[in-house]
Structure 1
């Protein structure tokens, strides 16, 4: 993962620069991340919200499920899941999915913040959809909210105003996350099944997701090697599921989060607690993390789930279970625990996303202290993040 040392300026931008082939060929081949001390130092005692953080960092609650968001009249949704931040003048917007059924209020909502980080507005941006788990932002400032059902769709939503639209050309399958690649002008997609695939959608016109070609990654059974893309002829997935339409499609055990920066896309698989990285310039893939290959000591990251990146090129990976941690992997392949939430073992951490300036990290505990969808809590951590 040392190639991320070349990506720091592009980690949060939507117009990431294309690096030369020579630079990529000279980048060190990464090895799965190994245990190390955190660059921020050890975790301190839990704060008033039950969160352990490094020295210099503070947490706050910005929204709770079924409660009115402070400063607004909007009631925050149940089971907050995948999220992302969008620049909004001197402030920003944080969007969050709701991983419940349509009848229970599934869809997505947004929080608008001013330059001081105070909520000024909140509203619904998607309603009537099912089990909206993760998703991804686009360079044209829309949020792709993904349904995690066998016939799930990607819904393109508009945090700045507009009516959400289904994008069936992006396939009907158990969608999880999405990550836009402005260099190759494609969107990568994960599939949350034990025999799932890793996809890319190639729009007919970049910026318009109404039509295009859905493709699946083809490779061998090893944990590293080269790959190609094969076209899914029937994105509707009926009668043959999209994952079964391409010979040689590589299987991944429970695809979850997905993050793009520069010429690399990372995605997680919860079934085997791995983080994969795909070098798009070289046409190769490998492991960035595997909980069975960590030394010394026990693996810090289990229940691997949502993933995001910082301006420093660090990856932040949230746990679904485990010890309710957000772990970080640095560009030199070192993994450590960044934060830990106590007293919420019946929950999972979801939706990590940095504010545009990179000094605030938003995320949720999907079921909070109650262990129920109605107990979700959305947090913000502020502090001296590496830039």
Structure 2
């Protein structure tokens, strides 16, 4: 049997799940040792998290030579520019870099996969780093698509790239070598923005970027984790999401792949809730977190019990006299310490960290990029570096994109 790289990743994951039964055969002394070690790790993690948040509370310094305002202890470098050869490779970085994610490699390095939100060429490029963080390769993992905006990583180490146009699809890509992704039409044809995978619930959540008329979707594959067939659903909200106790009721979308003259997915279920421009998404600690840019909100959907809440509301915070540094939220990322990283689509061009206790702390700000947006935040597997792009750069055009790396005392670093 000739397996594709995606097939191999899936089988390794399923083997790992099957092997998990061996944990129940471990003796009590070993388990006690593991628990003690876990407590030690948690204590160290708590200290690094506090140090990280304290660094952010110290405020941002003046812009450095890369045009970035950072907290004390953080540094930056530019790893790629649109239209220019990636250093040490034969690959020209794509225009309009957007959503991205990092994937660990067997040699201790990682790959940063990054979409191209261009209406003509689209696709996905990738940067490969060695264990010391040096770029060793760059290549394309998806071509022939258009307006690839955000997406999401899977637990079986593939990248789901989303096309943001009315007939857009999700494409599953192998980030580890040059190649071509696989279309997943069963996940729906609509203006896809982002994906978040819930491995316990065996579901994939998706946002839609359609102004004030956006759906929130769930896809349940027929055979996990094969994405080729399954059920697409859209959310209805029962109750008031600005308060407490709101929950989601899911409705099957009758026709996941409507034609141009057919009823679009978001209008096929009368009870569906219409969000104000759905954007970035990340799965974190059992929840699908996502942003709605037009009303400056970040939402949390708790997958296990189906409840939903507005975790951050800039207008409500402002009305209550609280600081609201985050506006026009877009792409999301999360770290092991419980922080949610939110990139701004314009506004004052910041990445803001939402802490578990409700603070909103600027991590960085780009100066001179007023006609751009921040996209694709993703932490390296060891948590020591953050990657993101200014989609149009200081030039304010698609071919002016710049991809950055930030290093510093993040809370999830090893």
Please name the residue that 1:101 is paired with.
119
Shift of 1:45: 1.3
Provide the aligned C-alpha RMSD in A.
Answer: 1.9
Q: How does 1:104-183 map to 2 (within 5 A)?
A: 105-161=121-177, 162-183=179-200
Q: Distance in 2 between matches of 1:254 and 1:101?
A: 19
Which of 213, 224, 235 matches 1:195? 213
Which structure's CA Rg is the greater one? 2
Q: Distance in 2 between matches of 1:174 and 1:37?
A: 39
Segments ≥4 residues shifted beyond 3 Å: 13-17, 36-40, 295-298
1:211 aligns with 2:236: no
Shift of 1:302: 1.0
Higher helix share: 2
Q: How does 1:217-228 map to 2 (within 5 A)?
A: 217-220=235-238, 222-224=240-242, 225-228=246-249
Query: What secondary structure is seen at the aligned counterpart in 2 of 1:323?
Result: coil
Please say if residues 57 and 381 of structure 1, whose CA atoms lie closer than 8 Å, have aligned partners that are also in contact.
yes
Please say if residues 38 and 336 of structure 1, whose CA atoms lie closer than 8 Å, have aligned partners that are also in contact.
no
1:71 aligns with 2:94: no
Q: Distance in 2 between matches of 1:125 and 1:282?
A: 36
Q: Distance in 2 between matches of 1:221 and 1:345?
A: 38
Query: What secondary structure is seen at the aligned counterpart in 2 of 1:72?
Result: coil
Query: What secondary structure is seen at the aligned counterpart in 1 of 2:230?
Result: strand
Q: Distance in 2 between matches of 1:337 and 1:71?
A: 33
Please say if residues 258 and 265 of structure 1, whose CA atoms lie closer than 8 Å, have aligned partners that are also in contact.
yes
Query: What secondary structure is seen at the aligned counterpart in 2 of 1:169?
Result: helix
Please say if residues 55 and 72 of structure 2, whose CA atoms lie closer than 8 Å, have aligned partners that are also in contact.
no
1:345 aligns with 2:363: no
Q: Distance in 2 between matches of 1:107 and 1:100?
A: 8
1:283 aligns with 2:299: no
Shift of 1:220: 3.8
Q: Distance in 2 between matches of 1:108 and 1:40?
A: 35
Distance 1:299 1:37, change over 3 A: farther
Please say if residues 76 and 407 of structure 2, whose CA atoms lie closer than 8 Å, have aligned partners that are also in contact.
yes
Shift of 1:297: 5.0
Q: Distance in 2 between matches of 1:112 and 1:182?
A: 26
Please say if residues 155 and 167 of structure 1, whose CA atoms lie closer than 8 Å, have aligned partners that are also in contact.
yes
Which of 262, 267, 274 matches 2:285? 262
Q: Which has the higher contact order (CA 8 A, sep 6+)?
A: 1
Q: How does 1:304-323 map to 2 (within 5 A)?
A: 304-323=329-348
Shift of 1:276: 0.6
Please say if residues 179 and 258 of structure 1, whose CA atoms lie closer than 8 Å, have aligned partners that are also in contact.
yes
Query: What secondary structure is seen at the aligned counterpart in 2 of 1:257?
Result: strand
Cα deviation code 1:242-299 (max 9, x no counterpart): 1111231111110000111122111000111100111122221011111112154552
Shift of 1:39: 4.3
- Unpaired segments ≥5 residues, structure 2: 1-12, 21-52
Query: What secondary structure is seen at the aligned counterpart in 2 of 1:374?
Result: helix
Q: Distance in 2 between matches of 1:298 and 1:137?
A: 32
TM-score, normalised relative to structure 2: 0.83
Deviation larger for 285-294 or 222-231: 222-231
Please name the residue that 2:251 is paired with.
230
Q: Distance in 1 between matches of 2:326 and 2:338?
A: 18
Shift of 1:203: 0.5
Please say if residues 201 and 304 of structure 2, whose CA atoms lie closer than 8 Å, have aligned partners that are also in contact.
no
Which of 87, 100, 117 matches 1:83? 100
Q: Distance in 2 between matches of 1:248 and 1:215?
A: 12
Deviation larger for 239-248 or 57-66: 239-248
Please name the residue that 2:390 is paired with.
365
Q: Distance in 2 between matches of 1:85 and 1:37?
A: 26
Please name the residue that 1:61 is paired with.
78
Q: Distance in 2 between matches of 1:297 and 1:200?
A: 34
TM-score, normalised relative to structure 1: 0.88
Distance 1:55 1:202, change over 3 A: same
Deviation larger for 284-293 or 155-164: 155-164
Cα deviation code 1:42-87 (max 9, x no counterpart): 1111111010111100000000000000010100000000000000
Please say if residues 233 and 253 of structure 2, whose CA atoms lie closer than 8 Å, have aligned partners that are also in contact.
yes
Number of residues of Structure 1 aligned to a counterpart in Structure 2: 355
Please name the residue that 2:34 is paired with.
none
Shift of 1:163: 2.9
Please say if residues 40 and 55 of structure 1, whose CA atoms lie closer than 8 Å, have aligned partners that are also in contact.
no
Query: What secondary structure is seen at the aligned counterpart in 2 of 1:293?
Result: helix
- Unpaired segments ≥5 residues, structure 1: 1-12, 18-35
